[in-house]
């Protein structure tokens, strides 16, 4: 079975390995970008007024989010920590069946974003190794678009690089599913995509 070749002449195992490499490299890039930007923002903006990049359009300000996206579920940090860990495990298990470049990109975005926010939940205040409160760290959010333009909710959600990757990966997953692209490289109906 190992010698079987995928359409186009590439060995199945070699193609799967390249796709897994795409997933891992993209996840590492997203994860590193998220950690680096959060570190820089904390060092330069924590405790200070927002940095206005484009007036009324984009500013950077530090907030610590104990909930999920859009500050939903504030106070349920430990639950979101376990959900994020479960997502990471599910992505890694799903990747074993992957034979599709668009799905490798999608899973890479989701994995990198999930790991970035999971790291905050495990290691940032008030959580952390050796502390009495475990798995309840707050996620560092710092990108705010259209500040002050949503008076009903007081502000447009503040987010970070990991959140952006998760949203982009989620949108891509919906598009792929809607178009019938399967993770194993087939399209709905069993045809190769």
Sign of the torsion formed by the C-alpha atoms of 125, 128, 133 and 138: positive
Residue 58: phi, psi to the nearest 5? -145, 130
**In the block, residue with structure tokens 């050796």:** 130
DSSP letter, residue 157: P
Residue 26: phi, psi to the nearest 5? -65, -45
Contact 172, 102 (CB under 8 A): yes
Active site amino acids: 141, 163
Residue 88: closest CA among 164, 127, 31, 17? 31
Residue 30: closest CA among 94, 116, 93? 116
User: How many Cβ atoms are within 10 Å of 49's Cβ, its own excluded?
Assistant: 8
Length of the chain: 193
Longest dimension (CA), the chain: 61
């Amino acid at each position: 079975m190992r010698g079987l070749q995928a359409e186009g002449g590439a060995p199945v195992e070699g193609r799967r390995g390249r796709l897994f490499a795409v997933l891992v490299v993209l996840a590492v890039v997203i994860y590193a970008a998220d950690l680096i930007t959060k570190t820089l923002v904390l060092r330069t903006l924590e405790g200070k007024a927002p940095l206005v990049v484009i007036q009324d359009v984009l500013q950077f300000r530090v907030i610590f989010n104990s909930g999920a996206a859009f500050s939903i579920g504030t106070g349920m940090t430990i639950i979101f920590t376990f959900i994020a860990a479960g997502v990471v495990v599910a992505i890694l298990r799903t990747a074993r069946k992957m034979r599709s470049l668009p799905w490798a990109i999608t899973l890479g975005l989701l994995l990198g974003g999930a790991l970035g926010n999971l790291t905050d939940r495990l290691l940032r205040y008030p959580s952390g190794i050796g502390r009495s409160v475990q798995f309840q760290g707050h996620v560092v959010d710092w990108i705010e678009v259209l500040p002050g333009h949503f008076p009903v909710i007081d502000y447009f959600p503040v987010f970070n690089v990991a959140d952006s990757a998760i949203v982009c990966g989620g949108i891509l997953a919906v598009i792929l599913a809607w178009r019938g692209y399967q993770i194993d490289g087939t399209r709905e109906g069993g045809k190769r995509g």
